[in-house]
Structure 1
Amino acid sequence: MLNRRNREAVVKAVAALELTGTERALDIGFGGGLGLRLLLPKAAEVHGVEISATMLARAQAAFRGEVASGRLVLGEGPMTALPLETGSVHAVITTNTVYFVEDLPGAFAEVARVLAPGGRFVLGVGDPELMGRARMLTENGFRIRPIAELEATLTDAGLTMRRHERFAHSGLGFHLLICGK
């Protein structure tokens, strides 16, 4: 379900990385694993970090061969404490994850830490104005932040905004914030 529902957003996020096939890529909060599947043929090595032990176990089973070969490295952890070396990845995506992050400045600083100089980061989020109207989301603890706040926090973390893409997704608006380091 996660893969079907988020397909268009994840496909566009991976495309926005403009991978050449030589990079180490990272998908933070990979959920159903669609981003991992899309990154594997486009990157030299792929890392996935997930906070959910259930999603991590599913990915380990689904990508058994890729993990065994070393092309895919999976780890468990929050966005604020990524289990990767400083400057170790060239391209990072995360979609629909920041709603669950309390310490957004810490999370974006952590992304900047693991991102190599010249690297790219693509953040995908649903339109905050439209999401804010959905009581179910706000009642269930989703932290919905204005795009301007996300952009300012990215900049404060040392990431440079390169472009902002908008498109319709699942009947709502969606934003991709594409940054560089």
Structure 2
Amino acid sequence: MLNRRNRAAVVKAVAALELSGTETALDIGFGGGLGLELMLRQAAAVHGVDISAAMLARALSGFGDEIAAGRLRLHEGSMTALTLDDDAVEAIVSTNTIYFVDDLGAAFSEVARVLAPGGRFVLGIGDPDLMGRSKMLTGNGFRIRPVDEVKTALGTAGLPVTRHEQFSHSGLGFHLLISGPQ
């Protein structure tokens, strides 16, 4: 269900990374695993981090060959405490994750820490104005933040937005905030 509902956003976010085939990439909050699948086709190696033990277990069983070959490494963890070394990856994607993060500054500082110099980060978020109209999305700790607030937090963490793309996704507006070389 996650892969179907988020397909357009994940496909566009991974495409915005402009992977060349030589990078080590990271998908933060990989959910149903579509981003992992797409990045494995375009990167030399891929890491996946998800806070959900259920999503991690699903990916462990679904990507056994890639894990055995050493092309995919999966980690259970939070965006605010990534278990990767400094400068470990050249490309990072994360879609529909920051709604569950209390401290954007801490999360984006962690992203900046693991991103190698000259690397690219693509953050995908739903349009906050349209999302705010949905009663289903305003409870259970779900945080909707204005795009400018997210851009400011990215810049403060050393990840200034160099490109901002907007498109319609699942009847809602969607934003890709891209940090890195233009």
- TM bracket (short chain): over 0.9
Given residue 29 of structure 1, which amino acid in structure 2 is its aligned partner? Answer: G
Aligned to 2:176: 176
C-alpha separation between the residues in 2 aligned to 1:93 and 1:171?
22
1:8-30 superposed Cα distances (whole Å, 9 cap, x missing partner): 00000000000100000000000
C-alpha separation between the residues in 1 aligned to 2:83 and 2:70?
16
C-alpha separation between the residues in 1 aligned to 2:88 and 2:180?
15
Report whether the alignment pairs 1:126 with 2:117. no
Secondary structure of the residue aligned to 2:30 is coil
Deviation at 1:135, TM superposition (A): 1.4
Q: CA RMSD in A?
A: 0.8
C-alpha separation between the residues in 1 aligned to 2:110 and 2:140?
26
C-alpha separation between the residues in 1 aligned to 2:154 and 2:139?
26
Report whether the alignment pairs 1:98 with 2:103. no
Secondary structure of the residue aligned to 1:116 is strand
C-alpha separation between the residues in 2 aligned to 1:140 and 1:82?
24
The two structures have a TM-score, normalised by structure 2, of 0.98
Report whether the alignment pairs 1:41 with 2:35. no
Deviation at 1:140, TM superposition (A): 2.5
Secondary structure of the residue aligned to 1:167 is strand
Aligned to 1:88: 88
Given residue 73 of structure 1, which amino acid in structure 2 is its aligned partner? Answer: R
Question: In percent, how many aligned pairs have the same letter?
Answer: 70
Q: Which runs of 5+ in 1 are unaligned?
A: none
Aligned to 1:29: 29
1:103-160 superposed Cα distances (whole Å, 9 cap, x missing partner): 1100000000000000000000000001111112112221000000000000000012
C-alpha separation between the residues in 2 aligned to 1:98 and 1:152?
14
Aligned to 1:109: 109
Aligned to 1:152: 152
Report whether the alignment pairs 1:57 with 2:57. yes
